[in-house]
Amino acid sequence: MESKFIGCMIGCAIGDALGAAYEGCPFSNVDVTDVAFTGRWTDDTHMMIGMAESLIECRGFNGEHMTWTFIRNWQKEPWRGYGPGPPRVFRLILSGVSWREAAKKLYGGMGSFGNGAAMRIAPIALLYHDKPEELREVAYRSAEITHAHELGMEGAAVQAYAISLALKINKEFSPEEYLKEIAYFTRSRAYRDKLLTAVRLLDERNRRIIVKELGNGVEAFNSVPTAIYCFAKNHEDYAKAVLYAVSLRGDADTIAAMTGAIAGAHHGEEGIPRAWIERLERAEYIKKLARELWKLKTLLSST
């Protein structure tokens, strides 16, 4: 299980770094390779790291502490390619608005349904993987720091549940059953419909149809089901899953980061190409955080 914790976090960072060069590119049928892989990751991994740091320091979820950890990390490296929403939330908090209220002020008071809360969720998925209802609750509470819209929070819970299931996959894995189980977990029609569409598309070879039906956008509902699909379709191999995710273009770093977190949770560190880990920025630090989360998990389970 320790290897799976490492695989999940490193897998997320590598997906992010592989997809970064393709983020925002329009769909194209041309395959992608790792030729543009520099190992440099973006806001997706930066926020995942902040989430892990806070969980470890507080020995569990603490919303206020996590908020300030996100803010401090962003202040140190604001150039990581953050979405527009989180820095606006951080500036509001720095100007005196409560961390509980700031995210509710965005997007005309609706809050954000961007995929920023889902892309960083791996550490919470790991720490709460064996308690689905607590996992849902903590995923929601972590999401609402920056993403107060129901669909932004639900995206985080759905991605967290997809990771938690991937940790437990055995030899009789069925991609159909996997997608259906997540579809039954979600409380949102938008996600359920997409996940059931994903079941129907498992044998589809035309990637343009995948993008048309599932989406490849920055909205959580147009990227979380897509990432889960990329894993389900390519579950036998980590590299195949993330390169497929990148090939869909659009929000490529984020879709590949989420696919990579799921595939890495399934295959563990050994399933990820060593050459990619060696080139990944701050790989040793990310591994250290994953090991500490694993230790924390065993400690919390024994008390």
User: Which residues contact Mg ion (rule: CB under 5 A)?
Assistant: 23, 42-44, 81, 251, 253-254
> Nearer Cβ to ligand F2R, position 149 or 297?
149
Query: What residue type is assigned to position 153 of the chain?
Result: M
Reported as half-sphere exposure (CB side, CA atoms, 13 A), residue 226 has a value of 35
Helix (H, G, I), strand (E, B) or coil at 30: coil
> Nearer Cβ to Mg ion, position 4 or 120?
120
175 near ligand F2R, rule: CB under 6 A: no
Give the integer Cα–Cα distance in Å for 130 and 87: 33
Does residue 245 contact residue 255 with C-beta atoms inside 8 Å?
A: yes
Which residues contact residue 197 at a Cβ distance below 8 angstroms, ignoring those fewer than 6 apart?
A: 213, 214, 225
222 near ligand F2R, rule: CB under 6 A: no
154 near ligand F2R, rule: CB under 6 A: no
Binding part of the chain for ligand F2R, among 29-37, 53-61, 76-84, 90-98 by CB under 6 A, reads: 76-84
Structure tokens at 221: 């509902």
> Nearer Cβ to ligand F2R, position 48 or 52?
48
Give the integer Cα–Cα distance in Å for 40 and 123: 20
Residue ranges in 231-260 that form contacts with ligand F2R under rule CB under 6 A: 251, 253-254
Binding part of the chain for ligand F2R, among 30-38, 113-121, 153-161, 225-233 by CB under 6 A, reads: 113-121
Q: Crossing angle for the helix pair 132-143 and 63-76, nearest 10 degrees?
A: 50
Identified binder of ligand F2R from the candidate list 84, 94, 130, 208, rule CB under 6 A? 84
156, 191, 179: which is closest to 66 by C-alpha?
156
Beta-bridged to residue 250, according to DSSP, are: 25
294 binds, among Mg ion, ligand F2R, none (CB under 5 to 8 A by kind): none
67 near ligand F2R, rule: CB under 6 A: no
Binding part of the chain for ligand F2R, among 51-59, 112-120, 164-172, 272-280 by CB under 6 A, reads: 112-120
Reported as half-sphere exposure (CB side, CA atoms, 13 A), residue 213 has a value of 17
Q: Which residue has the tokens 């769909």?
A: 27
268 near ligand F2R, rule: CB under 6 A: no
For the chain, how many residues are written? 303
> Nearer Cβ to ligand F2R, position 43 or 154?
43
Query: What residue type is assigned to position 30 of the chain?
Result: V
Instruction: Output the smallest distance, CB 81 to Mg ion, in A.
Output: 5
Which stretches of the chain bind ligand F2R, using CB under 6 A? 23, 42-44, 81-86, 107, 110, 112-116, 147, 149, 218-219, 251, 253-254
